[in-house]
Amino acid sequence: MRILVGLLSVLSLAPTHIGSGDSVQPRDTESVINTIRPALPDGVRVSIVGADTFVRLESDGVRVEVHGYDDEQYLRISAEGVVEINDASMTTVLNGDRYGNVDVTNVDTSGIPKWRVIGTNGVAMWHDHRSHWMSPKPPAAIDEDGKVLDWDIPMIIAGTRTMVSGTLYIRDKASVAWWLFGLPAILLAVVLALTRRRLFLWLAAVASVKGIIVGYLEFTGLPDDARITPVLMMFSAGALVISAMAIATSRRDGRHHVAVSLNAGAGVALVIVAWLCVDQIRAAYVPGIEWPWMARATLPSLMGIGLVSAIDGVTRILRPPQEKIA
C-alpha cells in the first residue's frame, strides 16, 4: 500500500504537447542578423527566436513578401495584417520540420501559388533552413569567432526588394562546474532527512517553488507563438502539490509512512523534470530565460533534493513504520 501511494503520486504529471514552440530547445548554435538592406520601414520587424529556431516577421500596415529557397513566392503579409503561406511552394513543405525531414514525393510545386491564410495579426514565424544548422549533429566553426555560415533571406517590403543577412555561430557550452550546485542540495537534504524530518518534507516543497519560478520565466520569456511546453513548471507544480500533501499528512496524524510515500513521489517528480531539462545546464542557450544561470543552478539542486527524497522514501517505505515525524 505504501509503495502504491508513492507511485500514484507521480502518475498525473505527464505533460501534454502544445504548440510548435517545442522546437525551441537548449542549443549551442545562434543565428544573428547582421544587416537588412535597405533599412526596414516603420512597422516592420525581423528577429530570430529560440537562438536559431525561428525567423519571426512582424508587419503593421506594410505589405511584405518572403521568397523561398528557389526565390519563389513563399509567404506574404498584407497591409491589413493577413498572413498567407503558399502551399505550392517546396519551401512550405520543407519548413514543416526543422531538419527538413518530410515526404516530398507527392508535392506539386509546378502550378500557380496556392495561398492559405494562417493568421490575421501581421505576425509570421517559420523554420528557415537558411539560417540554422540542418543536422542534429553539432557543426564545426570555420573561424575563431565560432562562425558556421552566412545566410541571406530575400523579401519584398513595401514593393522594395530587401535582403536580410546574418551569420550562424556555434557557442561554447557552459561549464560542467554548474553540476556542483547539486552537492549542497544533497548534503542539506541528507542532514535534514536524518535529523529534522518535518523540515525535510518542506525541502522538496521549496525546491518545487524554485522549479516553478524558473519554468514560468522560461515559458513567458518567449513570444506566444514560440512558447515551449512548460515541462519544468508543470512537473514542479505537481511536486509542490504532492509535497503539500505530505506536509499536511504529517501534521494531521503524525504517522510517517503516508507522508514519506508522498515525499518520495515529489522527489521522483523533481528527478524526472531535472532529467528532462538536463540539457539546460550546459547549453549555451536556455529557452526563454534572460538569466540562464538560474536554470543552470536550479536543475542540479532539484535533482539532488529529488534523489535524496526518493531514496529516503523507498528505504523507509520498505521497512515497518516505527517512529513519528519529529
The model's confidence at residue 184, banded by pLDDT at 50, 70 and 90, is very high
Q: Of the segments 5-19, 37-51, 217-231, which one has the largest average pLDDT value?
A: 37-51
Q: What is the mean pLDDT of residues 206-210?
A: 97
Q: Quick check: 87 and 108 in contact, CB under 8 A?
A: no
The C-alpha cell of 171 is what? 557557442
Q: Quick check: 35 and 289 in contact, CB under 8 A?
A: no
- At residue 250, the pLDDT reads 81
- At residue 20, the pLDDT reads 47
- At residue 197, the pLDDT reads 87
Angle (CA) 258 259 265, round 5°: 90
Using the predicted structure, report yes or no on whether residue 322 has a pLDDT greater than 90: no
Mean of pLDDT over the chain: 88
| Tens digit of each residue's pLDDT (9 = 90 or more) over 234-251 | 999 999 999 999 998 886
Distance CA 126, CA 255 (A): 55
| Tens digit of each residue's pLDDT (9 = 90 or more) over 146-179 | 999 999 999 999 999 999 999 999 999 999 999 9
Residue with cell 512548460: 230
Q: Is the overall model pTM greater than 0.75, yes or no?
A: yes
| Tens digit of each residue's pLDDT (9 = 90 or more) over 78-105 | 999 999 999 999 999 898 888 888 887 7
Q: What is the mean pLDDT of residues 289-311?
A: 96
Percent of the chain past pLDDT 90, that is, above it, reads 73
Using the predicted structure, report yes or no on whether residue 320 has a pLDDT greater than 70: no
Residue with cell 506574404: 76
Of 205, 238, 197, 212, the C-alpha closest to 295 is 212
| Tens digit of each residue's pLDDT (9 = 90 or more) over 108-130 | 777 789 999 999 999 999 999 99
- Lowest-pLDDT range of 94-98, 225-229, 318-322: 318-322
Q: Quick check: 46 and 164 in contact, CB under 8 A?
A: yes
- At residue 22, the pLDDT reads 57
The C-alpha cell of 193 is what? 532527512
φ, ψ at 274 (rounded to 5°): -65, -40
Task: Sheet with 147-157: list strands edge to edge.
Answer: 29-37, 160-170, 147-157, 64-67, 73-77, 83-86, 115-119
Percent of the chain past pLDDT 70, that is, above it, reads 89
Q: Quick one: CA torsion of 129, 133, 135, 139, rounded to 10 degrees?
A: 160
In SS3 terms, 118-145 reads as EECCCEEEECCCCCCCCCCCCCCCCCCC
Q: What is the CA radius of gyration of the chain?
A: 25
- Lowest-pLDDT range of 8-12, 23-27, 322-326: 8-12
Distance CA 284, CA 293 (A): 10
